Chain A
Amino acid sequence: MGSPHPGDAAPDFELTDQRGAKVKLSDLRGSVVVLAFVTSWCPFSQAEQPHLASLADQYRGQNVKVLAVDIKEADEGYARYLARVPMPIPVLRDRTGEVVASYTPDRAQPAIKDRAAVLVTSNLVIDAGGRIRFFTMADTANFDADLVFVRRAVDDLLRSASGSRG
């Protein structure tokens, strides 16, 4: 499908969250980062949302940052996403879709012209060195609403980090 894929450096970005704070991905080096691309209108994003919120709670106190990126929505849609479930994580806003499109593999879903839309309800796990270690594009027939595979990827990274320290 082309780049980026697991093993590649995660494209850097700086976006603003719901409280107006700027978040720059490269500032989070040293932490495991979960990155979820979401929209208010996608039923799969909606089903996943409470689990994304609980992911942050689950890893509280550990070296894990969970970020959601809302894709190209008007104020109304962005507000609807935030209102649906209390989100204890930064919900960043990519108004143009440029940041998200920088993550879209070139040959993924070639029929879809809006390249940012290809990644709606896609999840990544990025290691402490800023490399993509896990990347699932929306897979509706094998939908993992509970984020079981994301948690597994995070656990693997935390385990290998503690192993290398000890």
Chain B
Amino acid sequence: MIPRSLAATARAAGLVFGVFAVILAALTAGVTGCAAAPTPRPGPSAMSERPGLRGSVRPEMGSPQPGEPAPDFELPALAGGTVRLSSLRGAWVELHFTGTWCPYCDVEIAHLGELSVDFAPRNVKVLVVDLQEEPEVWSAYARQRVAPSLIALQDRTGAAAIRFAPPRAQPSFTDRAQVLFDATLVIDPAGVIRVFLLPDTAHFDPSFRGVRVELDRQMRGSTVIAAEPVRRAPGDLLAPDRVVDLSAAVRPPERPEPAEMLVVRLAIAPGYHIVSDHPPDPFSIPTVVRASAEGLEFGAPVYPAATRVGALSVFDGTAEVRLPLHRAPVQAAAPTAIAVYVRYQACTESRCLAPVRKGLTVAPP
């Protein structure tokens, strides 16, 4: 039984916004939960304020973010053969990018070995990926410094790392793979990113104390595929994750659109609306639709026209979001299933529910 408590805070902006905080407290001496202090805003940015989790990617940096599917990769392992990230589904994964020259990484790597031993009984795999170095440099270093309990991989070109680089993180870096040096991710058994830390030298945490606490917290908190635990709304409101029914399909090219389209349909329950993709109120949480798949590239999502309700910008009824889809060059592997990620905040006339994240998988075209 996971103790949870729900704290709601009200905020007047023509509507009442419900803000829910889920607190997972340790089961000690009959304590089954504790009240959360009202927080002004939820969201991934709060993670960067948590001790030990400084350096968390911020929403304005762009994808990938916690709550979104981790990009897949297949990389050569020092132990021989290759390891594909998606083949580790069902286990928790800590993924760390390193370079043998990086003094911060070098301090961390011993602690990473300890972490992998401590968490191995709980089905946590720890992957350490060397970035952009000669294989002999990495293997010589790894013999000395990398514990056998770690899964040691190499991304020679940085092609895997680039897929993890949020476009607006370290904008001065022209080689985008370098953004990932010393980065740490926690990926859940469904392949969803739960923690994504970029290096923060001013708050250097060489022994991963913050990550350990967060990993423990997340593992207790959820075994479901959705990035957030399912929550019941108070009163007779629908649970926030039930307000929108998701479906998606790939549509062949149609004039005047030359590309194939992934069409994601959001069927919104009667009596509810969701915040549009571009609300004028900076405190509103916009709808976000993203998609990813091996062997496919997606263009920017095209959202439908929003309805204006007073100062609000919303979708209601059925909203179709279209993402142009391009096939990668022929030498790439056959496309895998498309992972679709949707975040929305639903409201009625009188109140808003907690924002939710939902996902679904679509067969490849």
Contact = CB atoms under 8 A, between A and B. Distances in A.
B99 interface: yes
A162 interface: no
Interface stretch (B36-44, B144-152, B169-177, B302-310): B169-177
A112 interface: yes
A139 B172 contact: no
Interface residues of B, number: 25
Contacts of A42: 101-102
Interface in A113-164: 114, 117-118, 120, 137-143, 145-146
Contact of A112 (B103, B172, B173, B202): B103
B107 A111 contact: yes
B344 interface: no
B351 to A, nearest CB: 36
Contacts, number: 56
Interface stretch (B184-192, B193-201, B234-242, B313-321): B193-201
Contacts of B204: 109, 111
A142 B101 contact: no
A79 interface: no
B101 A41 contact: yes
A166 interface: no
B139 interface: no
A141 B181 contact: no
A109 B205 CA distance: 10
Contacts of A142: 202
B103 A140 contact: no
Nearest to B55: A141
A112 B104 contact: yes
B330 to A, nearest CB: 33
A114 B103 contact: yes
Contacts of B178: 43, 46
Contact of A141 (B102, B104, B174, B200): B200
Interface residues of A, number: 23
A138 B202 CA distance: 8
A43 B181 contact: yes
B257 to A, nearest CB: 38
A132 B235 CA distance: 63
Interface in B116-168: none
A41 B202 CA distance: 20
Interface in A29-60: 39, 41-43, 46-48
Contacts of B103: 112, 114, 117-118, 120
A153 B103 CA distance: 28
Contact of B202 (A39, A46, A120, A141): A141
Nearest to A41: B101
Contacts of B202: 137, 139-142
B203 interface: yes
A109 B172 CA distance: 25
Task: Name, among A117, A137, A141, the residue most crowded by chain B CB atoms within 10 Å (CB to CB).
Answer: A141
Given A41-B101, A137-B201, A141-B203, A47 B107 contact: no
A118 B106 CA distance: 12
B132 to A, nearest CB: 10
A47 B170 contact: yes
A140 B172 contact: no
Interface of A: 39, 41-43, 46-48, 109, 111-112, 114, 117-118, 120, 137-143, 145-146
Given A43-B175, A141-B202, 11 more contacts: A42-B101, A47-B172, A111-B204, A112-B103, A112-B104, A139-B202, A140-B199, A140-B201, A141-B198, A143-B170, A145-B172
28 contacts: A41-B101, A42-B101, A43-B170, A43-B178, A43-B181, A46-B173, A46-B178, A47-B170, A47-B174, A48-B172, A109-B201, A109-B204, A111-B204, A111-B206, A112-B107, A114-B103, A117-B103, A118-B103, A140-B55, A140-B182, A141-B54, A141-B55, A141-B200, A141-B201, A142-B202, A143-B170, A145-B172, A146-B172
Interface of B: 54-55, 99, 101-104, 107, 170, 172-175, 178-179, 181-182, 198-204, 206
Give 3 closest A-B pairs by Cβ, nearest first. Answer: A145-B172, A117-B103, A43-B178
